[in-house]
Amino acid sequence: MNSAEVRLQALSKHYHRVAAVDDVSLTIEPGSMVALLGPSGCGKTTCLRMIAGLVSPSSGDILVNSERITRVPVHKRNIGMLFQNYALFPHMTVSENIAFGLDMRGIGKADAVKRVGHALDLVRLADFGGRFPSQLSGGQQQRVALARALVIEPAVLLLDEPLGALDKGLRESMQVELRALQRRLGVTTVMVTHDQDEALTMADRIVVMRDGRLEQVGTATEIYQRPASKFVATFLGASNLFNGTVERRNGGETLVTTGAGLSLSVDGVAADARDVVVSVRPEAVVVNRLNGSSPPQNVPNTIVAEIEQVIYRGFISHYYLKLQDGQELIAYQQNQTRDVAAAYAQGEKVIVRWDRSSNHVIAKD
């Protein structure tokens, strides 16, 4: 399958002067899988439907392999799309569903039969061609929809919340399966999801959207470890955010202090910055007993906190803590022995600290 490059150029969509998608520019590498991630109403679905041609943009352009398709009608775009509820044609058998796109392309019967068989093999449903969609489980229906979208050898595959209707276990195995298939075929894929796990699992690159605009674009690691904004930091996983003031600079290292008397040693603060936001991921925070010792003074990235609640989650525990000034802090810690989590009493004072490499300065709000 030939991989296509998809480019969005200053793409916008307005509904009654409200911008659903606002000036989005994005290049999607051939053969890669990109996830548009964001809360509902962030414009990700509108973006996808514009690529499909189901929604026409108010301004901007869509290019596939440098060819402008902005005004090309849907049925001439050669796009495979997976819908949230599968959208299988209920009055057609599985084979007829898959053959529909081939039929529309005027492909001969013998050739079509061969290709349908191949597509059924691809999604491991070889024996199901004669059944009707209503006789299949959710996962099987999803596979039929996938076969139907892939059999036409689309330039681009679009997935609209593809696994949203499946239950958790099936969803996870389908994520892996879909990803493997996509890699194998090398078809350029854009998916829309509000599920961060799905985006992290499946996508080469994640595009975080908010209020119709791009918030951050990057690999899963980039987005998770170096969120560009408070929004990204809290939307993708949880984050502890500290508002602080720059205290002193020492070469590349900067010391930031917060209201609770916490001092943070950070890298990468702009030279003229005074007030900064620092994010720390909960799994970086280490909780320890005081054991009667006096709390440490002036040690960076270390502070005394009070246990609010400990929630046992199997292999990890979630610690809900409170600092002296009332700021809340979350820590995720792997459970080492059976009784650690239970041993902390509510209101107990503990020492929390983390490595300075876990401090990440957020550039914008």
Contact positions toward another protein, by CB under 8 A? 52-54, 73-81, 83-85, 87-91, 100-101, 104-105, 145, 148-149, 152, 158
Minimum separation from the CB atom of position 54 to another protein (A): 5
What one-character-per-residue DSSP string does 293-327 give? PPPPSS-TTEEEEEEEEEEE-SSEEEEEEE-TTS-
Nearer to another protein among residue 16 and residue 338 (C-beta): 16
Minimum separation from the CB atom of position 310 to another protein (A): 45
Minimum separation from the CB atom of position 78 to another protein (A): 8
Q: How far apart are CA 96 and CA 93, in angstroms?
A: 5
Q: Which two tokens stand for residue 121?
A: 């093999």
Nearer to another protein among residue 81 and residue 116 (C-beta): 81
Contact 344, 307 (CB under 8 A): yes
Among 283, 296, 274, 275, residue whose Cα is nearest residue 350: 296
Minimum separation from the CB atom of position 170 to another protein (A): 21
Minimum separation from the CB atom of position 15 to another protein (A): 11
Minimum separation from the CB atom of position 75 to another protein (A): 5
Nearer to another protein among residue 87 and residue 228 (C-beta): 87
- Judge residue 104's burial from the number of C-beta atoms within 10 Å of its C-beta, 0-12 exposed, 13-18 middle, 19 or more buried: exposed
Minimum separation from the CB atom of position 85 to another protein (A): 6
Minimum separation from the CB atom of position 91 to another protein (A): 4
Minimum separation from the CB atom of position 83 to another protein (A): 5
Among 90, 110, 111, 89, residue whose Cα is nearest residue 100: 89
Nearer to another protein among residue 91 and residue 338 (C-beta): 91
Nearer to another protein among residue 4 and residue 304 (C-beta): 4
CA 25 vs CA 7, 88, 131, 158, 328: distances in Å: 7, 32, 43, 18, 37
Nearer to another protein among residue 73 and residue 292 (C-beta): 73
Nearer to another protein among residue 1 and residue 286 (C-beta): 1
Nearer to another protein among residue 87 and residue 217 (C-beta): 87
Among 181, 188, 112, residue whose Cα is nearest residue 151: 112
Q: What angle do CA 132, 136, 142 make, to 5 degrees?
A: 105
- The DSSP bridge partners found for residue 258 are 244
Among 177, 183, 154, residue whose Cα is nearest residue 82: 154
Nearer to another protein among residue 111 and residue 253 (C-beta): 111
Q: Which two tokens stand for residue 39?
A: 């809360």
Contact 223, 216 (CB under 8 A): yes
Strand order in the sheet with 302-312: 286-289, 349-353, 302-312, 316-322, 328-334
- The DSSP bridge partners found for residue 318 are 311, 332
